[in-house]
Chains A and B, each alone.
Chain A
Amino acid sequence: MLKIKVKILILFCLLLFNSTVQAKNPSELIVEIVDKASSILSGNATDDEKITQLNEIAENSVDIKGIGFYTLGKFRKNISSEEQDRYADLFRKYFLKSFSSRLVTYTDPKINVISEKVINEKYTIVNSVLVATEKRPEVKIDWRVYTKNPDKPLIRDLIVEGLSLARTQKEEFKSVIQNNNNDINALFKTLEDFINK
């Protein structure tokens, strides 16, 4: 009986330790992924290896599915569940390709987290700056972090100098659909072309 109790206690401690390790506040999340990305980008791996590692970071820390459906806007309501699944799959591939190819051109980006502001129980904005280099000035980057599940905060938007990338992407997708007679397949085709290029 004692052995069972000890085992239960150990299991409980392990679970507690595990959840403590995983729980992090939004600023810690950003510092962690920035450090990881920086170490990958400044490392000696090939571009393909870097892209694979960056994609792993994105899949663990970004709410790709949530951003995808936000980006689809009002059109989300008019498509079937099969089309939603197809879109989610295409968007994930599109996002990862776009995300890693944007980053891989930077060799050693230095991002300093400055502060954070809790908007409400679901969102916290983490303020950071991309340190200036010889070629470009300092850039303010704010991260919109979704905190509904405090144990697993997820990034939902990047706001560069006050400009929201999610919103820009949403308006871009809307433009593609509207310029093709509101046909969602045109967006699918455009996403496929981007993924395969």
Chain B
Amino acid sequence: MKKYLILLFLSLLITFNAHSSSDGTNEISKKSSGEVKDCFESLNRGIFAFNQALDTLIIEPVAKGYRYLPKPIRNGTSNVLNNISLVVTIPNNILQGDIKVAGKNSARFILNSTIGILGFFDPATKIGLNDYVKEDWGQTLGAWGVGEGCYIVLPVLGPSTLRDASASLVNYSGGNAWYNITVDEDTHYFSDFDYYASRGLTGVDFRAKNIESFDNLEANSLDFYASVKSLYLQDRKKKIFNSDEIIETLDDSDWEEIDN
């Protein structure tokens, strides 16, 4: 019953999402460079300030402490977390039509989970199964042409969009094998703690890799909220394109006018 309610809620959100993109038009093309509306800016800024306080008090100090761990331990932790993320990436590779990449990622998962001892080591990269790129349900919706909808900031989790936040609910309705065997089903091998610890560690690992970049960005921003929003949305667009190519600046006509 819970799963059906989540799916119903998700479909409603996606419907709302598809109608709430910029300028009242549906951004059904993933190549659209339309602006994402900040429909709840006041609320978002409030949550952003809360997240910043949380970061200052807890996340950043923990991330700094995490950096004191020996590099092999940090690398191993990153490897385990990447390996876990494959259980979401692979179905999304398939849904996006990237069957070859799905095969490559499946081989990577099997190899690293076994020879790599639950993903701690990364033998897959050593034999050429490298360039792993995470995929999620929001990216798949983006690849299918669903627009971002409004920009939102989630407590603790940070920047998102209505599309991405609603799509992440799939994780809790059967779409994330790691969640299924830790929280959803009592397998006697894993517990809820394992799932939430992995989520927390993912955040700390990411934060630890970006301490200087965040400090630098904050110190040099005129409006830190707007900077983070811009970077998040650019990053999502880049991930949906699945391309290393540079996404041109939002409206190149501005450069054109300067040239003239």
Contacts and interface: CB of A to CB of B under 8 A. Distances in A.
Interface of A: 66, 69-70, 73-74, 98, 101-102, 105, 122, 125, 134-137, 142, 144, 148, 156-157, 159, 161-164, 166-168, 170-176, 179, 187, 190-191, 194
A156 B255 CA distance: 10
Nearest to B225: A175
A164 B110 CA distance: 36
B221 interface: yes
Contacts of A174: 226
B255 A159 contact: no
Interface stretch (B19-27, B97-105, B173-181, B212-220): B212-220
Contacts of B255: 66, 70, 156
B227 A159 contact: no
A188 to B, nearest CB: 11
Given A66-B258, A157-B249, A168 B234 contact: yes
A137 B223 contact: no
11 contacts: A66-B258, A70-B258, A122-B259, A134-B71, A156-B255, A162-B234, A162-B246, A162-B247, A163-B235, A164-B246, A194-B222
Contacts of B244: 162
B23 to A, nearest CB: 14
B259 A125 contact: no
B246 A172 contact: no
Contacts of B226: 171-172, 174-176
Contacts of B229: 171
Nearest to B220: A98
